[in-house]
């Protein structure tokens, strides 16, 4: 695919949209736009990171994988972020499994080209570091949520997060997928989904869940849903302040 349509598509990703024209010039001409189906594994835990992805839509789940093969989600990436960015700072091996949970399009660049872009621009380097902090914050909140909250509330949190990523009240999610993301038995997900459908909060059939009453769903979720939104907003404001400082010639310190 030529650079022109890729450059036009870059505004769909919020991280790319924050970069200057010169900074985009280090990344976008070397990108292609790819479409990825639900269930696609971008990297496995321990795989070499060969490409970096800037989602335009959809959602990627980052999962911690145990020795017995079981996995649980620790963070998600949508159009606000990037998958594999730490390869630009020398982390060549993925520590997690990155899997597409909502179908998406993304701008894809080779890790080697991205490392060159990072080496050529402090602002791109800082963007990678800042977004890694976003993912670490998600992982902290998700770990606390998994340890302290009941599966009902966690189910509601995950469904709300997915709907926000999809920008729709209808989300293509199987109960098997949800059980893996939440680290619980499928029967537990079936029981929760059945109760919520009986109460008129959601409806589901054939791998599609529709939020019927979002206000009720928000009332049933745990505090972690709002905590994730608040933390993301706080880090977003800090990023904007850093970008403003950089535009005036004062680069922020890497955190």
Confirm or reject CATH 2.60.60.20 for domain 3-121, answering yes or no.
Answer: no
**Residue 172 three-state SS:** strand
- Between 1.10.287.1040, 1.10.10.10, 1.10.287.3510, 3.40.50.261, what CATH number should domain 150-221 receive? 1.10.10.10
**pLDDT tens column, 196-255:** 999 999 998 888 999 999 999 999 999 999 998 888 777 666 666 666 665 555 444 443
CA distance 94 to 244: 32
Close Cβ partners of 241 (under 8 Å, ≥ 6 residues apart): 252
What is the model's pLDDT at position 243? 61
- DSSP type of residue 207: T
What is the model's pLDDT at position 3? 45
* Distances, alpha carbon 218 to alpha carbons 30, 52, 127, 159, 190, in Å: 41, 34, 31, 10, 19
Mean pLDDT over 64-75 rounds to: 88
* Distances, alpha carbon 22 to alpha carbons 1, 6, 113, 196, in Å: 21, 15, 15, 50
CA distance 49 to 106: 16
Q: Where are the domains of the chain?
A: 3-121, 150-221
**pLDDT tens column, 10-43:** 678 999 999 999 999 999 999 999 999 999 999 9
């Amino acid at each position: 695919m030529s650079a022109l349509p890729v450059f036009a598509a870059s505004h769909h990703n919020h991280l790319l949209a924050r970069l200057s024209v010169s900074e985009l010039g280090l990344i976008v001409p070397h990108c292609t736009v790819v479409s990825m189906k639900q269930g696609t594994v971008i990297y496995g835990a321990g795989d070499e990171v060969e490409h970096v992805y800037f989602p335009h839509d959809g959602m990627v789940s980052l999962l911690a994988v145990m020795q017995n093969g079981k996995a649980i989600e620790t963070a998600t990436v949508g159009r606000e972020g990037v998958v594999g960015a730490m390869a630009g700072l020398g982390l060549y091996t993925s520590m997690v499994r990155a899997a597409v949970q909502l179908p998406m399009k993304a701008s894809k660049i080779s890790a080697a080209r991205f490392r060159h872009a990072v080496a050529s621009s402090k602002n791109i380097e800082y963007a990678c570091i800042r977004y890694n902090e976003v993912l670490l914050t998600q992982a902290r909140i998700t770990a606390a949520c998994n340890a302290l909250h009941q599966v009902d509330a966690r189910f509601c949190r995950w469904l709300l997060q997915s709907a926000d990523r999809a920008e729709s009240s209808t989300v293509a999610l199987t109960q098997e997928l949800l059980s893996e993301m939440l680290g619980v038995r499928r029967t537990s997900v079936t029981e929760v989904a059945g109760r919520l459908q009986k109460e008129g909060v959601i409806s589901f059939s054939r791998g599609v869940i529709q939020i019927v009453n979002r206000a009720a769903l928000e009332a049933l979720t745990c505090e972690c849903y709002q905590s994730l939104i608040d933390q993301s907003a706080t880090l977003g404001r800090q990023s904007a302040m850093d970008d403003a400082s950089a535009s005036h010639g004062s680069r922020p310190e890497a955190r």
